[in-house]
Amino acid sequence: MRHEPPVKVSNRSLLTRRRFQFAGALVIGALLPFALRGTLLAGLFGEPASVNALFGNSLAITIAFWMRLSIETYPGIRSCYVIFPAALTGHGLMIVMLLLTRLPYDRLGLALGFGLHVLWNYFIYFYAERKIRQRIAVVPLGDVSRLSQIDNVDWQTLRRPRLEETAGCHAIVADFTADLPDEWEAFLADAALAGRMVYQVKQLSESLSGRVELDHLSENSFGSLLPARGYFHLKSLGDFLVAVALLPIALPLMALVALAIRAEGPGSIFFRQSRIGYAGARITVYKFRTMRPVSVEDERRAAMTGQDDERITNVGAFLRRTRIDELPQIFNILKWQMSWIGPRPEAEVLSIWYTSELPFYRYRHVVKPGISGWAQVNQGHVAEVEEVNAKLQYDFYYIKYFSPWLDLLILFRTIKTVLTGFGSR
């Protein structure tokens, strides 16, 4: 790891401080619409509709801020991905609450609050946050070499156990499992007492890379190999209810896709394939057919899709790029076999191959497979064993940090993936 000399930097900009951002959002997104409406319509200050809009905007901003704090702790996410969805969720929940309680509310005040809230957050991001690059001080003992492979952080190797050496650094990282000399352990204790962030190298490496190394089965924060069972069952129920709600929208779209596939040429509309699902059970996964029927002798090779695969049809290329070909898997969700988000289910023939080649591969079946997943938004489509090994590290990260916040992050990034066509084949 290259040595970076200590650098003194000026105090962080006020715009990058979370408390200032939250207070500013309350002023811009809640108090300002309340004041504007009171000025434009004299006497509206004391009206219940205006007061309810004020409290509704305030609570919506608080919810959105809490969501962002929870989601932005995960790697590979920029604030710009989360700002609009978090604000939309917070303000949407407030509108639903006001509708259900039948309280009077000021529609224009709520709309102004949402718009100004979003504009404030994007101003903060583009003017201040996107310019920030993390600088982390490294205690040069133990297994810290893995950090050099992460290039989105400036690493500053410490020469002495002195807090002044960490000037300008956002955090400190050390290998807590190493036999650290007394002076370095005292230094880390002093850093924690001074309010400095001190990370364990393994957890920080996972957080920044979004991958869990496959040297052993990785437990979650409770020391268990099983992900949280409560959330597992709640997520399954949520998946089913969302699928039922989307079915009236999905069926007409699927009918149009079926007509397009039929118009392009002969062959079945749907593609069915035996894949391995939750707990290693064999399931039949449904997709729209995107390839021409071609006889391939090698069953394993037939299950793979190569770059610019000549079997892909014109309609199929569009369906793959937009991920619409996965839409029939809504029926797998309705059958409780799949989730909207989780490790992608592999073809049975490939799963058998990967299980024989890769350690712990079968562990990815401890959660339900999904239509989109952490590996898909980070890596895209892969098939060869070497690529699947890296994909498995993403799957293990998802299982280890299995939570609604990680699912929400994957949902936001899936929207970007669909719009850009990232990783499709």
Q: Show which of 131, 149, 164 is a domain's final residue.
A: 131
HSE-CB at 405 with a 13 A cutoff on CA atoms is 14
Place of tokens 């999904």: 370
298 and 330 belong to one structural domain: yes
368 and 341 belong to one structural domain: yes
Task: Work out how many domains the chain is built from and give that number.
Answer: 3
384 and 309 belong to one structural domain: yes
Which residues does residue 271 pair with via DSSP β-bridges, in sequence order? Answer: 287
- Over 60: is that where the pLDDT of 414 sits? yes
Decide if 244 is inside a domain. Answer: yes
Interval 352-404: pLDDT, tens = 888 888 878 888 899 999 999 998 888 766 666 777 888 888 998 899 889 88
Decide if 221 is inside a domain. Answer: no
Place of tokens 């699912």: 407
162 and 266 belong to one structural domain: no
244 and 296 belong to one structural domain: yes
- Over 70: is that where the pLDDT of 413 sits? yes
From CA 405, how far away is CA 72, in angstroms rounded?
Answer: 9
Q: Show which of 180, 209, 238 is a domain's final residue.
A: 209
234 and 269 belong to one structural domain: yes
Q: Which amino acid is at 183?
A: E
Decide if 8 is inside a domain. Answer: no
Interval 93-136: pLDDT, tens = 999 999 999 999 889 899 999 999 999 999 998 888 777 788 89
pLDDT at 27: 95
189 and 284 belong to one structural domain: no
Residue from 80, 37, 85 nearest 63 by CA: 85
198 and 244 belong to one structural domain: no
167 and 154 belong to one structural domain: yes
- The pLDDT of 13-20, averaged and rounded, is 82
pLDDT bin (cut points 50, 70, 90) of residue 5 is very low
Q: Show which of 209, 244, 273 is a domain's final residue.
A: 209
Decide if 217 is inside a domain. Answer: no
Decide if 224 is inside a domain. Answer: no
pLDDT at 336: 95
Interval 298-348: pLDDT, tens = 566 656 666 667 788 889 889 988 889 999 999 999 999 999 999 999 989
- Quote the domain boundaries for residue 21: 14-131
Pairing mode, if any, of strands 282-288 and 270-276? antiparallel
Cα–Cα distances (Å) from 212 to 206, 216, 345, 398, in that order, read: 6, 9, 19, 9
Decide if 6 is inside a domain. Answer: no
Interval 180-226: pLDDT, tens = 899 999 999 999 888 888 888 888 888 888 888 766 666 555 556 77
pTM value is: 0.74
Residues 356, 386, 286, 300, CA torsion sign: negative
List alpha helices for 72-181, DSSP H. 79-101, 107-127
112 and 157 belong to one structural domain: no
pLDDT at 234: 92
